[in-house]
């Protein structure tokens, strides 16, 4: 177990919290980060790109001139890929880019990413985070006070006021503990967890 400073949402230190070394102090493995980020980005691809082959472009399929005696190359139709306006040879067609990696690899990569944030000092643990109502101005001020204007904010469960208060901030993302992933952890400069969210991550990855 490793001790981390515990802050309130006014950025005042209020104590310490023990977090599992296996999750917040594990060996950092950049190659796992690369593998999972590559997978996540591939899974987000629409794969709707499409080009027309010579059989699909609009145009006559009549032979453009006789086979022999003209001195020109032998062509069958203006829809051939060699002509402007013709079909595309070996062009992209709609396809699914998604793939998966083993669950143990995903878990190891997430532990590594969380540990990387903890080791670099970019992990901020709060005793709690709550707002009286959905106020973007209050949310921005709170994160600025914590030095986390570019941050992934993790809550243990859905909190409407917190979510609505930070969802319009340009470099901030709100997410529940169950949805924490390698891409988001690495994308944002700071990782802001409540104590309960940290416990939820320990339970999820332990």
pLDDT in tens, 170-189: 999 999 999 999 999 999 99
Res 135: pLDDT: 95
- Distance from C-alpha of 115 to C-alpha of 123, rounded to nearest angstrom: 9
pLDDT at 1 over 80: no
What are the residue ranges spanned by the domains of the chain? Answer: 2-45+98-205, 48-96
Res 2: pLDDT: 82
Among all chains, which residue has been given the structure tokens 């919290």? 17
Res 61: pLDDT: 86
User: In this structure, are residues 125 and 16 in contact, taking their beta carbons and an 8 Å threshold?
Assistant: no
Superfamily designation of domain 2-45+98-205? Ribosomal protein L4/L1 (3.40.1370.10)
User: In this structure, are residues 3 and 91 in contact, taking their beta carbons and an 8 Å threshold?
Assistant: no
Res 206: pLDDT: 84
């Amino acid at each position: 177990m490793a001790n981390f400073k515990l802050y309130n949402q006014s950025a005042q230190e209020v104590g310490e919290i023990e977090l599992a070394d296996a999750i917040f102090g594990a060996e950092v493995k950049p190659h796992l980060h690369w593998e999972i980020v590559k997978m996540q980005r591939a899974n987000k691809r629409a794969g709707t790109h499409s080009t027309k082959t010579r059989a699909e472009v609009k145009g006559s399929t009549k032979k453009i001139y006789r086979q022999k005696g003209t001195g020109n190359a032998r062509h069958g139709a203006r829809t051939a890929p060699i002509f402007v306006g013709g079909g595309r040879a070996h062009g992209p067609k709609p396809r699914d880019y998604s793939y998966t990696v083993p669950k143990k690899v995903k878990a190891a990569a997430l532990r590594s990413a969380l540990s990387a944030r903890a080791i670099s000092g970019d992990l901020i643990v709060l005793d709690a985070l709550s707002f009286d109502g959905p106020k973007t101005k209050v949310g921005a001020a709170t994160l600025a006070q914590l030095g986390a204007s570019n941050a992934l904010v993790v809550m243990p469960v859905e909190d409407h006021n917190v979510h609505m208060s930070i969802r319009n901030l340009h470099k901030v993302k709100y997410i529940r503990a169950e949805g924490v992933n390698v891409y988001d952890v690495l994308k944002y400069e700071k990782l802001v967890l409540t104590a309960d969210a940290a416990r939820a991550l320990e339970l999820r990855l332990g």
